[in-house]
Chain A
Amino acid sequence: NAGVTQTPKFQVLKTGQSMTLQCAQDMNHEYMSWYRQDPGMGLRLIHYSVGAGITDQGEVPNGYNVSRSTTEDFPLRLLSAAPSQTSVYFCASRVGLRTYNSPLHFGNGTRLTVT
């Protein structure tokens, strides 16, 4: 099992460019989520999904879009990058929304810089 795989590891964008951060998991987890981590602010939830075709907003959703066409993949799209989106992004998955005894599995992150 590869677990949760994020690509790319690093990315530099210019303001206004768009890109997609990829996240894939091979554990057949229903629940997937995206977090961003900024210095001194812990991890903040951007969007999450409880299954294919179902997504919802987290704490800081503005500027980001998500979709969930398959159980395995949960890409995060930045349509017009801004310097405020410079951050480290983590994708995480869990068995399901109601599986309280199951841990979150995190990827190793994508470090994004917007200039």
Chain B
Amino acid sequence: DAKTTQPNSMESNEEEPVHLPCNHSTISGTDYIHWYRQLPSQGPEYVIHGLTSNVNNRMASLAIAEDRKSSTLILHRATLRDAAVYYCIFLNAGGTSYGKLTFGQGTILTVHP
């Protein structure tokens, strides 16, 4: 199965942009990149996803490298409510892991006031 690599933790100040990196050098052409976040004592929450092009939504932006071996989740202005564990994962669209999401360790984001 394709794997993702994320930093264990990152820190940011409130109202500053945050760039959360993810490496996925073994990604295949049919794997979608999804990002989720998990606030304390809650279930994971969908943030954004993409395949090849950069994506924007009301929560964040996703920048995908041209070779698709890495991506970056961008929070344009971090707030205290954005403190969470952020997971970069694949949605396997083929192979034996067809359709399954595989979660890695995630990045713990701390936001300082």
Contact = CB atoms under 8 A, between A and B. Distances in A.
A and B are interacting partners: yes
Contact of B44 (A41, A43, A45): A43
Nearest to B93: A100
Contacts of B91: 100
Interface string A83-100: 000000010100001101
- Chain B facing A: main interface SS: loop
A100 B45 contact: no
Interface stretch (B16-24, B60-68, B103-111): B103-111
Interface residues of B, number: 23
B100 A43 contact: no
Given A97-B98, A100-B32, A100-B91, A106 B45 contact: yes
Interface string A37-69: 000111111001010000000110000000000
B101 A42 contact: no
B13 to A, nearest CB: 27
A98 B72 CA distance: 25
A25 to B, nearest CB: 12
Interface residues of A, number: 27
B32 A42 contact: no
A97 B104 CA distance: 20
B113 interface: no
A104 to B, nearest CB: 6
Given A97-B98, A104-B44, A109-B43, A42 B49 contact: no
17 contacts: A33-B100, A42-B103, A42-B105, A43-B103, A44-B103, A45-B100, A45-B101, A50-B99, A90-B43, A92-B44, A100-B51, A100-B99, A101-B49, A104-B44, A104-B46, A108-B42, A108-B43
Interface of B: 32, 34, 36, 41-46, 49, 51, 87, 91, 93, 98-106
Interface of A: 4, 31, 33, 35, 40-45, 48, 50, 58-59, 90, 92, 97-98, 100-101, 103-109
Given A41-B105, A109-B43, 14 more contacts: A4-B43, A40-B105, A42-B103, A42-B104, A42-B106, A43-B87, A45-B100, A90-B43, A100-B91, A103-B46, A104-B46, A107-B43, A108-B42, A109-B42
